[in-house]
């Protein structure tokens, strides 16, 4: 059994029931657990077949929580879940609309048993609307919100930005933010509520500034022609002599001056990058200059200055950078390098998370800590309603 760290962080004392899912659901759970919330994940008895199968220790967004493998198709399994919900401050789930209701665990039922409960839900399209019950993934949600159309180079197809925008920025973080807001409100009102986080709406929220720029005529519809979308030569990636890449982003004139001076150009003789007509000439000069030296040589000249510079680092390189090491940006859990909890808190710092555990690994201990009697736990286990990790098939990489 993986030990659970002592409660620390600003959310210490908050108890949450998390119904296992993929994408934004476990990420939201990780964010909350990293900052001290005590979370029990309710897992299936059999693998769901959703997401990317891998051994538990590589499933980083499940870290910091205990797992209870529970049969929600049986009435006594649903009853146990409802019992835990009555003891919780919040619940998070990411099923299609109507799924929790069909299980007998919908908001109306849960809030009847626990009126102060914050019921957090995250879906792609939201709980209602024409697309609410359709399947989808991050790419679909960011496409509909207008984000995907704006990402990419001129004349090329939209660039797929991993699943960072819909699943995580527009989904997990929006859910975690909404959940904490509702928990704060419940402390005063004594009443819980439903938090409906839709990835398509979260993505639209992330695009707020861009919608404003477009309305003002400061962002053109054609991607790759604007300041922040690879159109500008001074907000761009460049290849170095060793084939590695660097980034520059001196948007402000004073920072452009620093960059140009440090790479050997006289700013007064360089094409005016405030003029879009000069962008092609400026880009050519910068590309030629950066191709003359290696990435490490440019780091020596530019890193730490006001040139707005950073090397493009791989997943293996990023944790080794001196700034990352000085800040403790990464931790290693069960041999897996992963981001450390963030943000930082001066008085209630987060603990180092515990590694993600196998489904059902500490279900008995979690139930005992949440006040379920030993006799009831033994009865449920004997009836196959809950199951230990040793009896649950575990996916391998």
Q: Give φ, ψ of 43 to 5 degrees.
A: -100, 160
Set 137, 272, 321, 369: catalytic member:
137
Strand order in the sheet with 245-248: 236-239, 245-248, 309-311
Distance, CA of 373 to CA of 5 (rounded, Å): 23
Helix (H, G, I), strand (E, B) or coil at 346: coil
Instruction: Tell me, yes or no, if 128 is annotated catalytic.
Output: no
CATH for 245-311 (3.40.50.300, 3.40.50.720, 3.30.1540.10, 3.40.50.9100): 3.30.1540.10
pLDDT digits 0-9 by tens, 126-144 = 999 999 999 999 999 999 9
Set 167, 196, 219, 234: catalytic member:
167
Q: Where are the domains of the chain?
A: 15-206+329-391, 245-311
Distance, CA of 139 to CA of 142 (rounded, Å): 5
pTM over 0.85: yes
Q: Which of 5-9, 310-314, 343-347 has the highest mean pLDDT?
A: 310-314
Residue 303 has pLDDT above 80, yes or no: yes
Instruction: Tell me, yes or no, if 167 is annotated catalytic.
Output: yes
> Domain 15-206+329-391, what architecture?
3-Layer(aba) Sandwich (3.40)
Q: Give φ, ψ of 76 to 5 degrees.
A: -70, -25
pLDDT digits 0-9 by tens, 51-106 = 677 888 899 999 999 999 999 999 999 999 999 999 999 999 999 999 999 999 99
């Amino acid at each position: 059994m993986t030990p659970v760290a002592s409660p620390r962080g600003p959310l210490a004392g908050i108890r949450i029931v998390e119904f296992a899912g993929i994408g934004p659901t476990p990420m939201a759970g990780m964010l909350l657990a990293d900052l001290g919330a005590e979370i029990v994940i309710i897992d299936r008895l059999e693998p769901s077949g959703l997401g990317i199968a891998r051994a538990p220790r590589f499933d980083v967004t499940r870290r910091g929580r205990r797992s209870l493998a529970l049969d929600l198709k049986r009435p006594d399994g649903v009853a146990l879940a409802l019992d835990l919900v009555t003891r919780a401050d919040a619940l998070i789930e990411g099923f299609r609309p109507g799924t929790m209701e069909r299980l007998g665990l919908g908001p109306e039922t849960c809030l009847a048993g626990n009126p102060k409960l914050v019921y957090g839900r995250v879906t792609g399209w939201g709980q209602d609307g024409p697309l609410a019950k359709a399947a989808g993934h991050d790419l679909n949600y960011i496409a509909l919100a207008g984000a995907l159309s704006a990402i990419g180079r001129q004349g090329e197809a939209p660039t797929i930005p991993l699943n960072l925008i819909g699943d995580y920025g527009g989904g997990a973080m929006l859910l975690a933010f909404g959940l904490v807001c509702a928990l704060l409100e419940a402390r005063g009102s004594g009443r819980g509520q439903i938090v409906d986080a839709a990835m398509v709406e979260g993505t639209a929220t992330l695009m707020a500034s861009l919608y404003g720029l477009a309305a003002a005529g400061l962002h053109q519809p054609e991607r790759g022609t604007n300041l922040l979308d690879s159109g500008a030569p001074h907000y761009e990636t460049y290849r170095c002599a060793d084939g590695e890449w660097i980034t520059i982003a001196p948007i402000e004139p004073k920072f452009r001056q620093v960059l140009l001076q440090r790479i050997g150009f006289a700013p007064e003789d360089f094409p005016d990058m405030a003029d879009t007509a000069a962008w092609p000439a400026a880009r050519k000069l910068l590309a030629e200059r950066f191709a003359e030296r290696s990435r490490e040589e440019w780091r020596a000249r530019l890193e730490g200055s006001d040139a707005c510079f950073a090397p493009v680092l791989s997943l293996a390189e990023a944790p080794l950078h001196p700034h990352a090491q000085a800040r403790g940006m990464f931790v290693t859990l069960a041999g897996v390098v992963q981001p450390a909890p963030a943000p930082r808190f001066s008085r209630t710092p987060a603990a180092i998370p515990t590694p993600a555990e196998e489904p059902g690994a500490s279900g008995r201990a979690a139930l005992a800590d949440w006040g379920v009697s030993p006799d009831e736990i033994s009865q449920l286990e004997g009836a196959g309603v809950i199951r230990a990790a040793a009896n649950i098939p575990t996916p391998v990489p």
